[in-house]
Protein backbone atom coordinates (compact mmCIF):
# COMPACT_ATOMS: atom_id res chain seq x y z
CA UNK A 1 0.00 0.00 0.00
CA UNK A 2 1.40 3.45 -0.85
CA UNK A 3 1.97 5.71 2.15
CA UNK A 4 0.06 9.00 1.93
CA UNK A 5 2.48 11.92 2.38
CA UNK A 6 1.55 13.91 5.49
CA UNK A 7 1.06 17.65 5.26
CA UNK A 8 3.80 19.57 7.06
CA UNK A 9 3.31 22.20 9.80
CA UNK A 10 5.95 24.42 11.40
CA UNK A 11 5.00 25.68 14.87
CA UNK A 12 7.42 28.27 16.22
CA UNK A 13 8.19 28.21 19.94
CA UNK A 14 6.60 24.77 20.25
CA UNK A 15 8.66 23.21 23.07
CA UNK A 16 6.39 24.61 25.81
CA UNK A 17 3.32 26.74 26.53
CA UNK A 18 0.66 27.23 23.88
CA UNK A 19 3.04 26.12 21.10
CA UNK A 20 3.48 22.66 22.65
CA UNK A 21 -0.31 22.19 22.83
CA UNK A 22 -0.61 23.32 19.20
CA UNK A 23 2.10 20.87 18.07
CA UNK A 24 0.29 18.02 19.84
CA UNK A 25 -3.07 18.99 18.37
CA UNK A 26 -1.78 19.38 14.80
CA UNK A 27 0.10 16.08 15.08
CA UNK A 28 -3.17 14.45 16.20
CA UNK A 29 -4.89 16.14 13.24
CA UNK A 30 -2.46 14.28 10.95
CA UNK A 31 0.27 16.81 10.24
CA UNK A 32 3.99 16.06 10.35
CA UNK A 33 5.08 18.74 12.82
CA UNK A 34 8.21 20.82 13.25
CA UNK A 35 8.72 21.62 16.92
CA UNK A 36 10.75 24.82 16.71
CA UNK A 37 12.60 26.03 19.81
CA UNK A 38 15.14 28.71 20.68
CA UNK A 39 16.49 27.57 24.06
CA UNK A 40 14.23 24.77 25.39
CA UNK A 41 16.02 21.88 23.67
CA UNK A 42 15.23 19.32 26.41
CA UNK A 43 11.50 20.07 26.25
CA UNK A 44 11.54 20.03 22.42
CA UNK A 45 13.24 16.61 22.31
CA UNK A 46 10.87 15.23 24.96
CA UNK A 47 7.83 16.44 23.00
CA UNK A 48 9.13 14.92 19.75
CA UNK A 49 9.73 11.61 21.52
CA UNK A 50 6.21 11.68 22.99
CA UNK A 51 4.68 12.40 19.57
CA UNK A 52 6.71 9.69 17.85
CA UNK A 53 5.71 7.15 20.51
CA UNK A 54 2.08 8.01 19.74
CA UNK A 55 2.73 7.20 16.06
CA UNK A 56 3.02 10.79 14.83
CA UNK A 57 5.75 12.39 12.71
CA UNK A 58 7.73 15.18 14.41
CA UNK A 59 11.17 16.77 14.35
CA UNK A 60 12.73 19.38 16.65
CA UNK A 61 14.48 22.29 14.91
CA UNK A 62 16.42 24.99 16.73
CA UNK A 63 16.02 28.52 15.38
CA UNK A 64 15.85 31.95 16.94
CA UNK A 65 12.97 33.40 14.91
CA UNK A 66 14.36 36.91 15.24
CA UNK A 67 17.34 35.83 13.08
CA UNK A 68 16.62 35.63 9.34
CA UNK A 69 19.43 33.08 8.75
CA UNK A 70 18.13 30.75 11.47
CA UNK A 71 14.66 30.89 9.95
CA UNK A 72 15.98 30.17 6.44
CA UNK A 73 17.87 27.15 7.74
CA UNK A 74 14.75 25.96 9.62
CA UNK A 75 12.81 25.97 6.33
CA UNK A 76 15.74 24.21 4.55
CA UNK A 77 15.85 21.51 7.25
CA UNK A 78 12.08 21.06 7.16
CA UNK A 79 12.05 20.69 3.37
CA UNK A 80 14.94 18.21 3.46
CA UNK A 81 13.42 16.04 6.20
CA UNK A 82 9.64 16.35 5.73
CA UNK A 83 8.96 18.25 2.48
CA UNK A 84 7.57 21.69 1.64
CA UNK A 85 5.39 23.22 4.29
CA UNK A 86 1.60 23.49 4.25
CA UNK A 87 1.04 25.25 7.59
CA UNK A 88 2.96 27.91 9.48
CA UNK A 89 1.95 28.80 13.04
CA UNK A 90 3.79 31.91 14.27
CA UNK A 91 3.42 31.21 17.99
CA UNK A 92 6.87 32.24 19.34
CA UNK A 93 6.69 35.40 21.41
CA UNK A 94 7.74 37.20 24.57
CA UNK A 95 5.96 39.65 26.86
CA UNK A 96 7.39 42.02 29.48
CA UNK A 97 4.75 43.99 31.37
CA UNK A 98 5.80 47.44 32.61
CA UNK A 99 4.81 51.07 32.13
CA UNK A 100 6.16 52.53 28.92
CA UNK A 101 8.13 55.13 30.91
CA UNK A 102 10.07 52.34 32.65
CA UNK A 103 10.76 50.26 29.53
CA UNK A 104 14.43 49.97 28.57
CA UNK A 105 15.74 50.12 25.01
CA UNK A 106 16.72 46.47 25.38
CA UNK A 107 13.21 45.31 26.31
CA UNK A 108 11.74 47.35 23.45
CA UNK A 109 14.26 45.93 20.94
CA UNK A 110 13.93 42.31 22.13
CA UNK A 111 10.16 42.42 22.08
CA UNK A 112 10.01 43.85 18.57
CA UNK A 113 12.82 41.54 17.38
CA UNK A 114 11.03 38.35 18.45
CA UNK A 115 7.35 39.24 18.09
CA UNK A 116 7.51 41.41 14.97
CA UNK A 117 10.73 40.61 13.11
CA UNK A 118 10.34 36.93 14.05
CA UNK A 119 6.90 36.87 12.43
CA UNK A 120 8.25 38.86 9.46
CA UNK A 121 11.13 36.39 8.97
CA UNK A 122 8.91 33.29 8.87
CA UNK A 123 6.22 34.99 6.76
CA UNK A 124 8.86 36.02 4.20
CA UNK A 125 10.11 32.44 3.85
CA UNK A 126 6.60 30.99 3.82
CA UNK A 127 5.39 33.43 1.16
CA UNK A 128 7.79 32.00 -1.41
CA UNK A 129 8.26 28.46 -0.12
CA UNK A 130 4.98 27.06 1.16
CA UNK A 131 2.63 24.87 -0.86
CA UNK A 132 -0.39 26.44 -2.53
CA UNK A 133 -3.53 25.80 -0.49
CA UNK A 134 -1.64 26.29 2.77
CA UNK A 135 -2.54 28.01 6.02
CA UNK A 136 -0.71 30.65 8.03
CA UNK A 137 -1.75 31.50 11.59
CA UNK A 138 -0.17 34.43 13.43
CA UNK A 139 -0.39 35.27 17.14
CA UNK A 140 -1.86 38.53 18.39
CA UNK A 141 -3.36 39.28 21.82
CA UNK A 142 -6.69 40.39 23.25
CA UNK A 143 -4.78 43.18 25.05
CA UNK A 144 -5.23 45.05 21.76
CA UNK A 145 -8.87 45.29 22.86
CA UNK A 146 -8.41 45.86 26.60
CA UNK A 147 -5.48 48.32 26.27
CA UNK A 148 -4.34 47.62 29.85
CA UNK A 149 -1.62 49.82 31.34
CA UNK A 150 1.80 48.12 31.18
CA UNK A 151 1.18 46.48 27.82
CA UNK A 152 2.07 49.33 25.40
CA UNK A 153 5.16 47.76 23.82
CA UNK A 154 3.83 44.19 23.80
CA UNK A 155 0.46 45.22 22.34
CA UNK A 156 2.31 47.45 19.87
CA UNK A 157 4.19 44.42 18.53
CA UNK A 158 0.96 42.49 18.14
CA UNK A 159 -0.69 45.41 16.34
CA UNK A 160 2.09 45.07 13.76
CA UNK A 161 1.39 41.34 13.54
CA UNK A 162 -2.33 42.01 12.97
CA UNK A 163 -1.45 44.38 10.12
CA UNK A 164 0.92 41.80 8.58
CA UNK A 165 -1.98 39.33 8.73
CA UNK A 166 -4.38 41.55 6.79
CA UNK A 167 -1.82 42.62 4.17
CA UNK A 168 -0.11 39.26 3.56
CA UNK A 169 -3.54 37.61 3.13
CA UNK A 170 -3.97 39.93 0.13
CA UNK A 171 -0.41 39.56 -1.15
CA UNK A 172 -0.87 35.78 -1.43
CA UNK A 173 -3.82 36.18 -3.81
CA UNK A 174 -4.02 33.36 -6.33
CA UNK A 175 -2.24 30.78 -4.15
CA UNK A 176 -5.30 29.63 -2.14
CA UNK A 177 -3.36 30.28 1.09
CA UNK A 178 -5.28 31.71 4.07
CA UNK A 179 -3.58 34.04 6.56
CA UNK A 180 -5.33 34.58 9.88
CA UNK A 181 -4.41 35.38 13.47
CA UNK A 182 -5.61 34.25 16.85
CA UNK A 183 -5.73 36.85 19.63
CA UNK A 184 -5.87 34.98 22.96
CA UNK A 185 -6.88 36.44 26.30
CA UNK A 186 -4.99 35.32 29.43
CA UNK A 187 -3.76 31.71 29.08
CA UNK A 188 -2.17 29.82 31.98
CA UNK A 189 1.41 29.62 30.69
CA UNK A 190 4.76 30.97 31.94
CA UNK A 191 4.31 34.06 29.76
CA UNK A 192 1.15 35.07 31.63
CA UNK A 193 1.81 33.66 35.12
CA UNK A 194 5.42 34.77 35.67
CA UNK A 195 5.71 37.79 37.98
CA UNK A 196 1.99 37.99 38.87
CA UNK A 197 0.67 37.68 42.45
CA UNK A 198 -2.02 35.06 43.22
CA UNK A 199 -4.44 37.92 43.75
CA UNK A 200 -3.75 39.40 40.33
CA UNK A 201 -4.07 35.98 38.69
CA UNK A 202 -7.47 35.55 40.44
CA UNK A 203 -8.51 38.96 39.16
CA UNK A 204 -7.58 38.07 35.58
CA UNK A 205 -9.31 34.70 35.84
CA UNK A 206 -12.61 36.35 36.86
CA UNK A 207 -12.46 39.09 34.21
CA UNK A 208 -14.04 37.16 31.33
CA UNK A 209 -17.71 36.09 31.62
CA UNK A 210 -16.58 32.45 31.44
CA UNK A 211 -14.69 33.14 34.72
CA UNK A 212 -11.53 31.13 34.21
CA UNK A 213 -8.10 31.43 32.65
CA UNK A 214 -7.71 29.94 29.19
CA UNK A 215 -5.64 26.77 28.83
CA UNK A 216 -3.17 26.11 25.99
CA UNK A 217 -5.62 23.51 24.62
CA UNK A 218 -8.30 26.21 24.24
CA UNK A 219 -6.02 27.95 21.76
CA UNK A 220 -4.84 24.70 20.15
CA UNK A 221 -8.45 23.97 19.11
CA UNK A 222 -8.73 27.38 17.48
CA UNK A 223 -5.46 26.76 15.60
CA UNK A 224 -6.71 23.33 14.56
CA UNK A 225 -9.61 25.10 12.82
CA UNK A 226 -7.54 27.96 11.35
CA UNK A 227 -4.90 25.48 10.08
CA UNK A 228 -7.34 22.88 8.86
CA UNK A 229 -9.52 22.14 5.83
CA UNK A 230 -12.62 23.83 7.33
CA UNK A 231 -10.95 27.24 7.25
CA UNK A 232 -11.07 27.60 3.47
CA UNK A 233 -13.28 30.70 3.45
CA UNK A 234 -11.88 32.57 6.48
CA UNK A 235 -8.99 34.77 5.37
CA UNK A 236 -7.29 37.91 6.67
CA UNK A 237 -9.17 37.71 9.99
CA UNK A 238 -8.25 38.08 13.67
CA UNK A 239 -10.06 35.60 15.91
CA UNK A 240 -10.21 36.70 19.56
CA UNK A 241 -10.28 33.65 21.85
CA UNK A 242 -10.68 34.94 25.40
CA UNK A 243 -13.86 33.62 27.05
CA UNK A 244 -15.71 36.82 26.13
CA UNK A 245 -13.26 39.26 27.79
CA UNK A 246 -13.43 41.90 25.08
P1 LIG B 1 5.50 30.92 26.81
O2 LIG B 1 4.89 29.83 27.58
O3 LIG B 1 6.35 31.93 27.48
O4 LIG B 1 6.32 30.26 25.58
C5 LIG B 1 6.96 31.10 24.66
C6 LIG B 1 7.50 30.27 23.53
O7 LIG B 1 8.13 31.17 22.59
C8 LIG B 1 8.58 29.30 24.01
O9 LIG B 1 8.39 28.06 23.37
C10 LIG B 1 9.88 29.95 23.52
O11 LIG B 1 10.86 29.03 23.13
C12 LIG B 1 9.40 30.67 22.28
N13 LIG B 1 10.33 31.73 21.90
C14 LIG B 1 10.66 32.86 22.58
N15 LIG B 1 11.60 33.54 21.92
C16 LIG B 1 11.88 32.83 20.80
C17 LIG B 1 12.75 33.03 19.72
N18 LIG B 1 13.55 34.09 19.63
N19 LIG B 1 12.77 32.10 18.72
C20 LIG B 1 11.97 31.00 18.78
N21 LIG B 1 11.13 30.77 19.79
C22 LIG B 1 11.07 31.67 20.79
O23 LIG B 1 4.38 31.76 26.04
P24 LIG B 1 2.89 31.37 25.56
O25 LIG B 1 1.95 31.88 26.54
O26 LIG B 1 2.85 29.95 25.14
O27 LIG B 1 2.79 32.33 24.28
C28 LIG B 1 2.71 31.86 22.96
C29 LIG B 1 2.15 32.98 22.08
O30 LIG B 1 0.86 33.35 22.54
C31 LIG B 1 2.99 34.27 22.12
O32 LIG B 1 3.06 34.81 20.82
C33 LIG B 1 2.20 35.18 23.04
O34 LIG B 1 2.44 36.54 22.76
C35 LIG B 1 0.79 34.76 22.68
N36 LIG B 1 -0.20 35.09 23.72
C37 LIG B 1 -0.12 34.51 24.95
C38 LIG B 1 -1.07 34.85 25.91
C39 LIG B 1 -1.03 34.27 27.30
O40 LIG B 1 -1.77 34.76 28.16
N41 LIG B 1 -0.23 33.27 27.58
C42 LIG B 1 -2.10 35.75 25.60
C43 LIG B 1 -2.14 36.30 24.33
C44 LIG B 1 -1.19 35.96 23.39
P45 LIG B 1 12.15 28.66 24.05
O46 LIG B 1 11.61 28.21 25.38
O47 LIG B 1 12.83 27.58 23.27
O48 LIG B 1 12.97 29.92 24.15
Give the C-alpha separation, 140 to 151, whole Å.
13
Decide whether any atom of ligand 1 lies within 6 Å of the 19 Cβ: yes
Q: Judge if the beta carbon of residue 201 lies within 6 A of ligand 1.
A: no
Cα angle for residues 44, 24, 67 (degrees, 5° grid):
45
How far apart CA 217 and CA 224 sit, in angstroms, is 10
Quote the pLDDT of residue 1.
Answer: 55
Structure letter (DSSP) for residue 229: G
Q: What pTM does this model have?
A: 0.99
Residue nearest (by alpha carbon) to ligand 1 atom 6? 13
CA neighbor of 187 nearest in space, from 147, 154, 217: 217
**Distance (Å) from CA 92 to ligand 1 centroid:** 4
**E strand or H helix that includes residue 162:** helix 152-171
Name the residue at shortest CA distance from atom 12 of ligand 1.
Answer: 13
Residue nearest to atom 9 of ligand 1 (CA): 13
Residue 65 CA: nearest ligand 1 atom is 19
The finding on whether 16 has its CB within 6 A of some atom of ligand 1 is yes
| 178-184 vs 87-90, strand pairing mode | unpaired
Length of the chain: 246
Residue 151 annotated to the active site: no
pLDDT score, position 162:
99
What sign has the CA pseudo-torsion 174, 180, 119, 87?
negative
Distances (CA, A) of 234 to 81, 143, 158: 30, 23, 20
Closest ligand 1 atom, residue 38 Cα: 47
Does the Cβ of 17 fall within 6 Å of ligand 1? Answer: yes
Q: How far is the CA of 12 from the centre of ligand 1 (A)?
A: 9
**In what order do the strands lie in the sheet containing 58-62?**
58-62, 32-37, 8-11, 87-90, 135-139, 178-184, 238-241
Give the pLDDT of residue 4.
77
Atom of ligand 1 nearest to the CA of 213: 40
Q: In this predicted structure, what is the pLDDT of residue 116? A: 99
Domain locations in the chain? 8-185+216-239
In order along its 246 residues, the chain shows pLDDT tens digits of 556 789 999 999 999 999 999 999 999 999 999 999 999 999 999 999 999 999 999 999 999 999 999 999 999 999 999 999 999 999 999 999 999 999 999 999 999 999 999 999 999 999 999 999 999 999 999 999 999 999 999 999 999 999 999 999 999 999 999 999 999 999 999 999 999 999 999 999 999 999 999 999 999 999 999 999 999 999 999 999 999 999
Q: By C-alpha distance, which of 186, 185, 169 is closest to 177?
A: 169
Task: Give the pairing type, strands 238-241 and 178-184.
Answer: parallel
How many whole angstroms from 162 Cα to the centroid of ligand 1?
A: 17
Q: Which of 37, 75, 120, 154 is catalytic?
A: 154
Q: Which is the closest atom of ligand 1 to the Cα of 37?
A: 47
- CATH architecture of structural domain 8-185+216-239: 3-Layer(aba) Sandwich (3.40)
Tell which one of 93, 111, 204 to mutate to probe ligand 1, the residue whose CB is within 8 A of the most ligand atoms. Answer: 93
> In degrees rounded to 5, what are phi and psi of residue 27?
-65, -45
Amino acid sequence: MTQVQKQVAIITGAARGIGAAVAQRLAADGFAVVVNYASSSGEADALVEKLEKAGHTAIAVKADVSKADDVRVMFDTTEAKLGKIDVLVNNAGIMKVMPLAETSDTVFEQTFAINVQGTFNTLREAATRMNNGGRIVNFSTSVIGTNLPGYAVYAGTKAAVETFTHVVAKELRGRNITVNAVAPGPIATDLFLTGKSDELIQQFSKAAPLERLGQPEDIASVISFLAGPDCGWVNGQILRANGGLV
